């Protein structure tokens, strides 16, 4: 019951944003909302692994890149393909699939890569797990930089069909919310959260912790891949540097500020940080246009996000919404009110 | 599924008879440590210790600080590497198995320092143990509700476990261990940090456990009066070695035990 309420509240929030902007919004507003929905898919993907296992993963954005490049390789129209990817392997060079299928396949391949490579890492905990996940990101990034046949190397890859509209992105965001909630409350999710809170006690109870983490990591990579492909079909051209530290930092910032342990926190963090970003970007533009300072103001967004993370981690380490989902909080509030009356 | 809680009268009668007969001999289903040794960087924490717990029996494991009691529980549950010896439950040889395999063969434990899942609710904490045994969420939920009612924790089911008081945390830990439907339950100082009335309540609760949940109980505690009143047999360790083992009365008057608790007179042990 309380889980259904959580889903209703979160999906309602997304629906209000999307319909409100579809009906009244300017092109700028539509752009911001579409970006928000894509970020929701990515942040919820990270929440699936990080929130339930308690292990910070830097590799997430790498899987976003895998999804984007897989979909690009298969969906760039054939007449542009030989220009965009001249060295593409003959097996796939003449296949053009629907971009919608490409998005799903992007997620699928990202999940398959995660499944094949990540199991040994899942045996690690704490700092060792974090550092190896960072190494994983570096490896994926290096491959994207140098596998010219598939990624066009460090150069920009262009020509993806532009199919990501606000309703499509919002649809995937809704699916991501539901997936994250179901996973969190599933048998695997509960056991994984137990291992997050106390690894020794969970192991002593019979939980196969590396296996549970592995499953979560695969699901997390699936969402990251879908998010990456969605993003690819939105911007239509990108290079490997789009899937590296800056993006990692933004997604991580959204999740940490919102509260990694709850789906509500992930959604709230994404919305808050997106709003803050757009506000700061506008402020930056305004400051530069009135030439308050002799030199242009740049990097305001990054500095404020970094400071927000520091403040949040020192004052509320669990993030904005640390333990209870919104549905749970609402139900408890009603029960409390009934008791006191 | 519901085999544990629903013994019919003849079965219960047989069970009682069996209990009387087996307290002196090793049952074929017993949980046993054979000649177990554990070495920590050259230090022998356990030196050829053998012990058994029969089904339906309460065994007290006592000894001075640092005598290896917790290490023995860790050895039985696979948390430390054995330098020698074997761990056997019934016909199953569990030597060298990882903790999760031992847990799934029906051996549950509690920890000396309470180890709850602090960011999860009390109900989720208890459910976890049933889930880890392969039950689905619905079964685990029912199991948890029953146990929480049994331990008068139903009111706190929705609370975050980390916010409970100490006595409640201890009870949640026991309820959680029972949710796994263990054949053997190993409790590491369940009464630590409890006041007189709390440990009195705990004593009643523990005494009823073997019959109610059809299990063998091994219990470590420093509260001698609790151990002496509760246990069918007592096993005494000192510096990693067994110094006495047997019926409560016999062990209490054993000179080696009295010496190990130097400064304790026999009266203090009663």
* Domain extents in chain A: 2-241
User: Mutation test of the interface with chain B: which of A50, A184, A194, choosing the one with the most B Cβ atoms within 10 A?
Assistant: A194
What percent of chain B is helix, strand and coil (3-state, nearest 5)?
40, 25, 35
C-beta atoms of B131 and A196 within 8 A: no
pLDDT reported for residue A340? 79
Please compute the mean of the pLDDT values over residues A223-237 and round it to a whole number. 97
In percent, how much of chain A has pLDDT > 90? Answer: 82
Look at the domain B9-20+28-106+182-269 and name its fold: Rossmann fold (3.40.50)
Question: Given an 8 Å threshold on Cβ–Cβ distance, is B100 in contact with A208?
Answer: yes
Three-state DSSP state, B233: strand
**Cβ B240 vs Cβ B67: under 8 Å:** yes
**Interface with chain A: mutation pick from B74, B128, B158, highest number of A CBs within 10 Å:** B128
Residue written as tokens 């926190």?
Answer: A265
Query: Could you give the 3-state DSSP secondary structure of residue B67?
Result: coil
Closest by CA position to A302, among listed A221, A231, A248, A222: A248
Helices (H), chain A: 2-24, 27-53, 60-75, 78-84, 90-93, 99-117, 126-146, 148-151, 166-185, 187-197, 199-204, 209-235, 245-258, 263-290, 300-315, 326-340
CA angle B35–B181–A200, rounded 5-degree value: 65
> For residues B33 and B89, is the Cβ–Cβ distance under 8 A?
no
Angle at B236 between CA B232 and CA B239, to 5 degrees: 165
Three-state DSSP state, A292:
coil
Alpha helices (H) along chain B:
9-22, 69-76, 99-104, 122-132, 137-150, 166-179, 196-213, 224-230, 248-252, 255-260
Inter-chain CB pairs, A–B, below 8 Å: 87
- pLDDT average, residue stretch A250-257: 95
Q: What is the model's pLDDT at position B26? A: 86
Mean pLDDT of chain A: 94
Give the chain B residue nearest A318 (alpha carbons): B119
pLDDT of B136 reads: 93
SS3 B79: coil
**Average pLDDT, integer, range A95-106:** 96
The pLDDT value given to residue B266: 53
Write down the pLDDT at residue B252: 84
Which of B74, B78, B131 would you mutate first to test chain A, the one with the most A CBs within 10 A? B131
Q: Are strands B84-89 and B92-93 parallel, antiparallel or unpaired?
A: antiparallel
A-chain residues near B176 (CB < 8 A): 205
Which residue would you say has higher pLDDT here, B263 or A110?
A: A110
The Cα A45–Cα A207 span in angstroms is: 23
Predicted confidence at residue A222, as pLDDT, reads: 98
Which pairs from A86-94 meet CB under 8 Å and 24+ separation?
A87/A148, A87/A149, A88/A149, A88/A150, A89/A149, A89/A150
Cα B270 from Cα B224, distance rounded (Å): 7
Whether A190 and B128 lie within 8 Å, measured CB to CB: yes
Q: Which of A186, A201, A318 sits opposite B115 (nearest CB)?
A: A201
Q: A58 versus A340: which is more confidently predicted? A: A58
Cα–Cα dist B197/B179, whole Å: 25
CB contacts, 8 Å: A187 with chain B = 131, 136-137, 140
Find which of A1, A206, A318, A339 to mutate to test the B interface (most B CBs within 10 Å of its CB). A206
Q: Please enumerate residues of A whose Cβ is less than 8 A from a Cβ of B.
A: 185-187, 190-191, 193-194, 196-198, 200-209, 261, 318, 322-324, 328, 332
Is the distance from CB of A213 to CB of A121 less than 8 angstroms?
no
Tokens representing B153?
Answer: 């924790």
Rounded to a whole number, what is the distance in Å from the CA of B7 to chain A's nearest CA?
25
What would the 3-class secondary structure string for A143-202 be?
A: HHHHCHHHHCCCCCECCCCCCCCHHHHHHHHHHHHHHHHHHHHCHHHHHHHHHHHCHHHH
pLDDT of residue B6: 42
- To 5 degrees, how large is the angle CA A170–CA A308–CA A228? 30
Give the residue among A159, A163, A150, A146 at the shortest CA–CA distance from A73: A150
Residues in chain A: 341
Distance from CA of A3 to the nearest CA of B (A): 13
Q: H or E stretch including B44?
A: strand B43-53
Residues from chain B contacting residue A185 (CB–CB below 8 Å)? 137
User: How much is the ipTM here?
Assistant: 0.88
pLDDT value of residue A166: 95
Q: What is the token pair recorded at A169? A: 């992105």
Contact A202 B117 (CB under 8 A): yes
Chain A environment of B160 (Cβ under 8 Å): 323-324
pLDDT in tens, A4-56: 999 999 999 999 999 999 898 899 999 999 999 999 999 999 999 999 999 99
Q: Can you tell me the distance from the alpha carbon of B53 to that of B50, in angstroms, rounded to the nearest whole number?
A: 11
Low-confidence ranges of chain B (pLDDT < 50): 1-23
- Say what the pLDDT of residue A338 is: 85
List chain A residues with CB under 8 Å of B124.
190, 193-194
Query: Which residues are within 8 A (CB) of A151 and not within 5 positions of it... i.e. 6 or more apart?
Result: A69, A144, A145, A157, A240
Contact list in A for residue B111 (CB cut-off 8 A) is: 200-201, 204
In angstroms, the Cα distances linking A252 to A89, A239, A246 are: 35, 21, 10
> Least CB-CB distance to A201: which of B104, B111, B124?
B111
C-alpha A340/C-alpha B194 separation (Å) is 32
Structure tokens at B151: 């331990």
CB contact under 8 Å between A200 and B133, yes or no, is no
Domain parsing of chain B, residue ranges: 9-20+28-106+182-269, 122-181
The distance of B259 to chain A (nearest Cα, Å) reads: 35
**What pLDDT score does B13 carry?**
42
Q: How far is it, in rounded angstroms, from Cα A237 to Cα A10?
A: 31
Structural tokens at position A132: 């190896």
**Residue of chain B nearest A335, judged by CA positions:** B158
């Amino acid at each position: 019951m309380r889980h259904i309420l959580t889903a209703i509240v979160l999906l309602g929030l997304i629906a209000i944003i999307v319909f409100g902007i579809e009906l009244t919004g300017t092109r700028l507003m539509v752009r911001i909302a579409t970006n928000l929905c894509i970020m929701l898919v990515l942040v919820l993907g990270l929440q699936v692994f990080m929130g339930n296992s308690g292990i910070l993963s830097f590799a997430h954005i790498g899987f976003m890149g895998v999804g984007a490049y897989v979909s690009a390789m298969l969906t760039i129209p054939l007449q542009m393909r030989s220009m965009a990817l001249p060295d593409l392997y003959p097996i796939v060079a003449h296949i053009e699939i629907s971009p919608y299928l490409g998005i799903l396949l992007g997620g699928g391949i990202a999940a398959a890569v995660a499944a094949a490579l990540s199991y040994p890492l899942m045996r690690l905990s704490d700092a060792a797990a974090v550092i190896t996940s960072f190494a994983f990101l570096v490896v994926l990034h290096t491959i994207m930089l140098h596998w010219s046949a598939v990624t066009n190397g460090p150069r920009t890859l262009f020509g993806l069909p532009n199919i990501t509209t606000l309703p499509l992105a919002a649809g995937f965001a809704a699916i991501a919310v539901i997936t994250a909630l179901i996973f969190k409350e599933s048998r695997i999710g509960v056991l994984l959260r137990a291992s997050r809170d106390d690894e020794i006690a969970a192991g002593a109870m019979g939980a196969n912790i590396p296996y549970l983490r592995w499953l979560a990591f695969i699901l997390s990579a699936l969402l990251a891949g879908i998010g990456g492909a969605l993003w690819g079909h939105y911007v239509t051209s990108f290079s490997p540097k789009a899937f590296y530290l800056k993006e990692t930092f933004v997604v991580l910032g959204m999740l940490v500020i919102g509260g990694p342990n709850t789906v509500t926190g992930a959604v709230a963090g994404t919305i808050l940080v997106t709003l803050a970003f757009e506000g700061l970007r506008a402020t930056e533009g305004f400051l530069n246009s009135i030439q308050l300072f002799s030199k242009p103001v740049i990097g305001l967004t990054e500095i404020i996000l970094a400071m927000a993370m520091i403040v949040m981690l020192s004052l509320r380490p669990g993030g904005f919404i640390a333990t209870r989902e919104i549905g749970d909080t609402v139900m408890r509030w009603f029960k409390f009110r009934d008791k006191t009356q | 599924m519901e085999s544990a809680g629903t013994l019919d009268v003849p079965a219960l009668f047989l069970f009682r008879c069996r209990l009387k007969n087996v307290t002196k001999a090793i049952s074929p289903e017993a949980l046993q440590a054979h000649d177990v040794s554990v070495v920590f960087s050259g230090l022998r924490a356990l030196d050829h210790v053998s012990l058994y717990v029969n089904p339906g029996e309460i065994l007290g494991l006592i000894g001075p600080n640092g005598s290896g009691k917790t290490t023995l529980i860790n050895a039985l549950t696979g948390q430390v590497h054995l330098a020698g010896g074997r761990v056997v439950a019934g016909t199953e040889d569990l030597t060298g198995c990882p903790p999760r395999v031992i847990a799934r063969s029906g051996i549950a434990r509690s920890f000396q320092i309470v180890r709850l899942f602090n960011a999860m609710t009390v109900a989720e904490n208890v459910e976890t143990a049933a889930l880890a045994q392969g039950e689905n969420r619905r079964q685990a939920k029912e199991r948890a509700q029953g146990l929480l009612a049994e331990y008068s924790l139903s009111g706190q089911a929705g609370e975050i476990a980390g916010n409970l008081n100490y006595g409640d945390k201890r009870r949640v830990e026991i309820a959680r261990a029972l949710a796994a439907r263990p054949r053997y339950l190993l409790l590491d100082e369940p009464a630590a940090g409890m006041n007189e009335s709390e440990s009195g309540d705990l004593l009643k609760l523990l005494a009823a456990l073997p019959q109610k949940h059809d299990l063998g109980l091994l219990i470590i505690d420093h509260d001698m009066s609790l151990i002496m009143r509760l246990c069918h047999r007592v096993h005494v360790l000192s510096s990693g070695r067994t110094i006495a083992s047997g019926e409560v009365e016999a062990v209490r008057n054993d000179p080696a035990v009295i010496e190990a608790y130097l400064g304790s007179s026999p009266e203090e042990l009663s």
